[in-house]
């Protein structure tokens, strides 16, 4: 299990947990919740760059600080 910000670009990952509170409900409302599968479209090691994922055909940019708190496991 790793945080979404450490998942490699091009990986398919399954979400294990998302943070609580308003950030969590914002993520859930975009279809990012425990169980959903994300495709990591873009991710870099540059400290400030956001992570871009694809979920259900939508591309979503997620700030680094938010992605740090999303736990995922790499599916393939």
10 C-beta neighbours (distance < 10 Å), count: 11
12, β-bridge pairs: 39
Name residues contacting another protein, limited to 9-68 (CB under 8 A). Answer: 21-23, 25-31, 33-37, 42, 44, 46, 48-50, 52, 56-66
**Count of residues engaged in binding another protein, rule: CB under 8 A:** 33
Residue 54 CA: distances (Å) to CA of 4, 21, 36, 62: 13, 23, 11, 11
Distance, CA of 25 to CA of 6 (rounded, Å): 22
Rounded least distance, CB 19 to another protein, Å: 10
Rounded least distance, CB 6 to another protein, Å: 16
Q: What residues line the site for another protein (CB under 8 A)?
A: 21-23, 25-31, 33-37, 42, 44, 46, 48-50, 52, 56-66
């Amino acid at each position: 299990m790793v945080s979404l910000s450490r998942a490699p670009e091009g990986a398919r990952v399954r979400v294990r947990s998302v943070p609580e509170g308003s950030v969590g409900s914002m993520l859930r409302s975009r279809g990012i919740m425990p169980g959903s599968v994300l495709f990591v479209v873009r991710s870099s090691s540059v400290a400030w760059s956001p992570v871009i994922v694809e979920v259900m055909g939508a591309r979503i940019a997620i700030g680094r600080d938010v992605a740090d708190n999303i736990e995922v496991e790499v599916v393939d």
